[in-house]
Amino acid sequence: MNSLLIKGCSILTMVQGDKPFVGDVLIEGGQITRIAESIEQQADSVIDAKGMAAMPGLINAHNHASMSLLRAFSDDLKLMDWLDKKMLPAEARMTKEDIYWGTMLGTAEMISSGTTAFADMYVHMDAVAQAVVDSGMRAALTRGLVFLEDDGGRRMSEALALVENWTGAGDGRITTMLGPHAPYTCPPQPLSEVIELARNRRIPLHIHLAETVEEVEKIRSRYGQSPTEYLHELGLFADNHVLLAHAVHLTRTDVSLLRGMRGGVSHNPVSNLKLGCGIAPVREMIAQGITVGLGTDGAGSATTLDMFAEIKAATWMQKLESGDPTVLPAEQALRMATIESAKLLGIDAQVGTLEVGKRADLILIDLDKPHLQPIHDLHSLIAYSATGADVDTTIVNGQVLMRNRELLSMSWEEVKSEAAIRSARLVEGL
């Protein structure tokens, strides 16, 4: 059994109530088997992590990784213009190979900024899944379902093929979901069919919800309901594990409809800020017992997949909106990016905290930097001053995917040149 001993780091377990302490972490067969102040045991490899902080890998609960190919191609537009005029025409040109390399670019960025798992919604999911296997990351994958044209049947069969062919692949690193795209792209009949199928087969769901005021108005004019009421009436929250992306425009009544739901909300504050969408009712949702994790959305909108930016934005937005700096403290924001996101992906029994028995998904942050000294409160330091570039080492399932900032599971030069060539073709003339 392959073993790895990490020595002398400050350990943030992210278990509620645990205080950071200096110690060692032993990984055997991809699992955390010991955490202690000092472990004297032979291991196949040893990482001297003095001066570093170890914490669970960050979990990005909402992404379209392949959209990294469209990073900074079209910004500063309204969501619907951005989607209809820029993203969808560029996406229509994407081949399976483009999506493989786009996803590889996304995984390269995530690994190098300390993200170990992500939830993804896209198309050509065989290519996305292959990139997840090759990169070594963990992911919950979904084929996005838009039911505005008459080939919904084909999309549905692709969605089910993903579930059948890839669940458990990559040594269990891949899980799958069904992904009706959004209330405004999914009319009642096909949407209720997906919900029922998911319920019968116990497949989790992933859907965008109430991202913009325009969406709320569109759904109200079509159905006389809020987007949340629309999904609620179709039975989405009755007995399904649901990952809701955004949930910005929810009334108090809407939030109460989510009470007791399985799954929860991926809050994507950077994308919401940049698209001018609004501030999600994060405090209210948490107060109602709804799980709230963090995600980036695709790099096409957020521009960056750095989860450290989401951590900061999430807490700053709540402090600003409430006028109260005591809300959403640093440690809670870090938990949102780790264990709370893990709950959304349905993988919290395996990852999301540093605990004996969990899979070894963890990162080492190099604290030997001017902006990370001196060390008073590690949670504050990491939440408010660290960035993805401070991550030195990224480990998933016991595999070291980055060490000393060098990507080990892929050739960065190859990913970079494939991305450059393919992205230029996708946006030509748009």
> What residues make contact with ligand SIB under the rule CB under 6 A?
64, 83, 87, 91, 121-123, 144, 146, 155, 181-182, 208, 211, 271, 297-298, 301
User: Of 182 and 396, which has the nearer Cβ to Zn ion?
Assistant: 182
Contact status, residue 282 vs residue 267, Cβ threshold 8 Å: yes
| 336 Cβ contact partners less than 8 Å away, ≥ 6 residues apart | 267, 292, 293, 294, 311, 314
CA distances from 8 to 50, 267, 357 (A): 5, 34, 20
Which residues fall within 8 angstroms of residue 40, CB to CB, at 6 or more apart? Answer: none
Query: Which two three-digit tokens encode residue 67?
Result: 């959209």
Q: Count the neighbouring beta carbons within 10 Å of the beta carbon of residue 349.
A: 11
Measure the CA–CA gap between 295 and 307, rounded to whole angstroms: 7
Which of 91, 297, 366, 418 touches Zn ion by CB under 5 A?
A: 297
CB of 154 to ligand SIB, least distance (A): 9
How near is the Cβ of 300 to ligand SIB at its closest, in Å?
6
* Residue of minimal Cβ distance to ligand SIB: 144
| Binding site partner of 146, from Zn ion, ligand SIB, none, Cβ cut-off 5-8 A by kind | ligand SIB
204 vs 298, which CB is nearer to ligand SIB? Answer: 298
Looking at beta carbons only, is 64 or 359 nearer to ligand SIB? 64
The count of residues interacting with Zn ion (CB under 5 A) is 1
- Asked if 24 is part of the footprint of Zn ion (rule: CB under 5 A), the reply reads no
- Which of Zn ion, ligand SIB, none lies near 206, with the C-beta cut-off 5 to 8 A by kind? none
Closest CB to Zn ion among 297 and 390? 297
* In the block, residue with structure tokens 């198309």: 123
CB of 383 to ligand SIB, least distance (A): 24
Smallest separation (angstroms) from ligand SIB to the CB of 138: 20
On whether 143 is known to bind a ligand per the annotation, the reply is yes
- x/- contact string, 253-292, with Zn ion (CB under 5 A)? ----------------------------------------
122 binds, among ligand SIB, Zn ion, none (CB under 5 to 8 A by kind): ligand SIB
Residues contacting residue 381 through CB under 8 Å, at least 6 positions apart: 367, 372, 375
Q: How far is the CB of 117 from Zn ion (least distance, A)?
A: 17
Shortest distance in whole angstroms from residue 283 CB to Zn ion: 23
- Of the candidates 150, 86, 76, 90, the one whose C-alpha atom is nearest the C-alpha of residue 123 is 90
Nearest distance in Å: CB 266, Zn ion: 9
Is 379 among the annotated ligand-binding positions? no
Beta bridge partners of 21: 11
CB-closest chain residue to Zn ion: 297
Outline where 41-87 has alpha helix (H). Answer: 79-81
Contact 70, 82 (CB under 8 A): no
Which option in Zn ion, ligand SIB, none does residue 87 bind, with CB closer than 5 to 8 A by kind? ligand SIB
Q: Which is nearer to ligand SIB, 87 or 415 (CB)?
A: 87
Cβ atoms of 175 and 213 within 8 Å: the answer is no
Query: Nearer to ligand SIB by C-beta: 104 or 209?
Result: 209
Distances (CA, A) of 179 to 82, 158, 257, 303, 330: 21, 11, 20, 23, 32
Q: In terms of C-beta density within 10 A (0-12 exposed, 13-18 middle, 19 or more buried), how is residue 168 classed?
A: exposed
Q: Is 91 annotated for ligand binding?
A: yes
Q: What is the DSSP string of 331-393?
A: HHHHHIIIIIHHHHHT-TTTSSS--TTSB--EEEEE--SGGG-S-S-HHHHHHHH--GGGEEE
Q: Which residues bind Zn ion (CB under 5 A)?
A: 297
- Binding positions for Zn(2+) are 62, 64, 208, 297
